[in-house]
Amino acid sequence: MSSSFGALFRITTFGESHGGAVGVVVDGCPPRLALDAADVQRDLDRRRPGQSRFTTPRQEDDHVEIVSGVFEGRTLGSPIAMLVRNQDARPSAYQDMKDLYRPSHADFTYQAKYGIRAWQGGGRASARETIGRVAAAAIARKLLREAASVEVLAWVDRVRDIEAKVDADALTFAQVEASAVRCPDADASRRIEDAIDAARHAQDSLGGVVRCIARGVPPGLGEPVFDKLDADLAKAMLSLPAAKGFEIGSGFAGTQLTGSAHNDAFVPGPEGRPRTLTNRSGGVQGGISNGERIEVAVAFKPTATIGVAQQTVDRDNSAVTLAASGRHDPCVLPRAVPMVEAMMLLVLADHWLRQRAVDVLR
């Protein structure tokens, strides 16, 4: 199903942007994991709209309800269903655009595929769908932290041409969250804030890059040939709304190096297994984690809904001009940070469970 993701730690999201609710069903979470709504709410609060002037002004508490799969504070091993009700939906705001195809949106492609679409806010194509992913990933985060000491952390690395300087080895969650735009470089954060403000006042938008690391990932995660860890990470990240590019490790910059400069040399490690002197592989070799820090980057396009007049067509294929209205992020990057973390967590949790099945036979 197109709304499901994962093999063993499997999620299915549901709901539309301006429908009654959105949510997720998580199947495959092991039993007896301590879990309550507060564990999930923390990450949903980082994703929710209305956080600052840099995000959409839509006001949603995004209060999560766990409606199954948890009893007396612990998971049962059965499907966990979580629900977030839409409280500030304004479908009437899209009335004037219901017969138009917004540039760079999914309006035309959804109509072409299904012959029908939820024109109120984009329906399933809206970033509001990611509430289910972030909620499910909060469970994956706790599972990975408690069972394997894995930590996942993302940040805004670049907006347009403003690039942060970040020491990924020393980076902390508090440093990321101290910035209103989730950029831990104070100078770059100020410049990004000014750039987003300028775009917002011009009724335009900006894109950029979110970087994400995973620390403490054990070697051996990944399922060659078609379920390689990096391949699943690429699919996961590119499934996010507005995501247009993916890199792992050295990425495209690695094409400018020779093999002798790019290779990660092995040395004896203190844990009784090899370590690498460098990490241009981004923690994955041959589609399998090598025990080093996993490093990925995800490129996000500028927000498609802008107030600047644009050329488009209506359902009768007649040319019209559209200056879109509504409540939208002038830059998706600050709220994309927990979404990128979510997809990393979901992939790692799924492959960690798959590797446990292999380890049983050792």
pLDDT (tens digit, 9 = 90+) per residue, 303-358?
A: 988 889 999 999 999 999 988 766 678 999 999 999 999 999 999 999 999 999 88
More confidently predicted of 60 and 47:
47
Q: State the average pLDDT over residues 15-24.
A: 91
In the predicted model, what is the mean pLDDT of residues 52-68?
A: 79
Q: Give the separation between CA 329 and CA 22, rounded to whole angstroms.
A: 19
Q: What is the mean pLDDT of the chain?
A: 92
pLDDT tens, residue by residue, 265-313:
999 998 889 999 999 999 999 999 999 999 999 999 999 888 899 999 9
The pLDDT value given to residue 210:
98
Q: How many domains does the chain fold into?
A: 1
141: which 2 tokens?
């985060």
Q: With 60 as the cut, is the pLDDT of residue 36 above it? A: yes
Predicted local distance difference test score (pLDDT) of residue 282: 98
pLDDT of residue 92 exceeding 90: no
- Neighbour-count burial for 121-147, b at 16+ CB within 10 Å, e otherwise: bbbbbbbbbbbbbbbbbbbbbbbbeee
- The mean per-residue pLDDT over the stretch 64-80 comes to 98
CA separation for the pair 6, 131 (Å, rounded): 17
CA distance linking residue 234 with residue 238, whole number of Å:
6
Listed in order, strand segments (DSSP E) in the chain are 4-5, 10-15, 21-27, 64-68, 70-71, 74-75, 80-85, 151-159, 162-163, 208-215, 243-248, 266-268, 274-276, 284-285, 288-289, 294-300, 310-313, 319-322
**Contacts (Cβ under 8 Å, ≥6 apart) of 254:** 262, 280
Q: Where are the alpha helices (DSSP H) in 149-280?
A: 173-177, 186-201, 229-238, 259-262
Nearest to 84 by CA among 20, 142, 5: 20
Contacts for 302 with CB less than 8 Å, ≥ 6 apart:
204, 205, 206, 207, 331
Give the mean model confidence (pLDDT) for residues 126-148. Answer: 96
What CATH number did the domain enclosing 155 receive?
3.60.150.10
What 67-70 contacts at long range (C-beta under 8 Å, 24+ apart), as own/partner pairs, is 69/26, 69/29, 70/35, 70/36
Residue 259 phi, psi dihedral angles, 5° rounding: -60, -40
pLDDT for 328:
76
Write phi, then psi, for 341 (nearest 5 degrees).
-55, -40
Query: In which band, very low, low, confident or very high, does the pLDDT at 256 lie, cut at 50, 70 and 90?
Result: very high
Residue range(s) defining the domain that contains residue 33: 4-359
pTM beyond cutoff 0.85? yes
Query: Cα Rg for the chain, rounded, in angstroms?
Result: 21
The CA distance from 326 to 95, in Å, is: 11
| Residue 275 near residue 269, CB atoms below 8 Å | yes
Reply yes or no on whether the pLDDT at 143 is more than 90.
yes
| Closest C-alpha among 212, 207, 199 to residue 161 | 207
Percentage of the chain modeled with pLDDT above 70: 93
Whole-number pLDDT of residue 119: 81
Dist. CA 117–CA 106, nearest whole Å: 9
pLDDT reading at 89 higher than 70: no
Residue-level pLDDT at 55? 67
Q: Which of 55-64, 71-80, 227-236, 343-352 has the lowest mean pLDDT?
A: 55-64
pLDDT reported for residue 48 = 85
Q: What is the DSSP annotation of 119-133?
A: -STTGGGSGGGHHHH
Q: Is the pLDDT of residue 93 over 90?
A: no
Q: What is the pLDDT of residue 87?
A: 82
pLDDT-derived band at 140 (thresholds 50, 70, 90) equals: very high
Q: Residue 173: what pLDDT?
A: 97
The span from the CA of 27 to the CA of 7, in Å, is 9
Backbone angles phi, psi at 267, to 5 degrees: -135, 160
Least confident of 44-48, 131-135, 275-279, 352-356: 44-48
Instruction: Using the Cα atoms of residue 78, residue 346, residue 294 and residue 181 in order, give the sign of their dihedral.
Output: negative
| Across 70-74, 132-136, 176-180, 314-318, least confident range | 314-318
Predicted confidence (pLDDT) at residue 88 exceeds the cutoff of 80:
no
Choice between 19 and 287, residue whose per-residue pLDDT is larger: 287
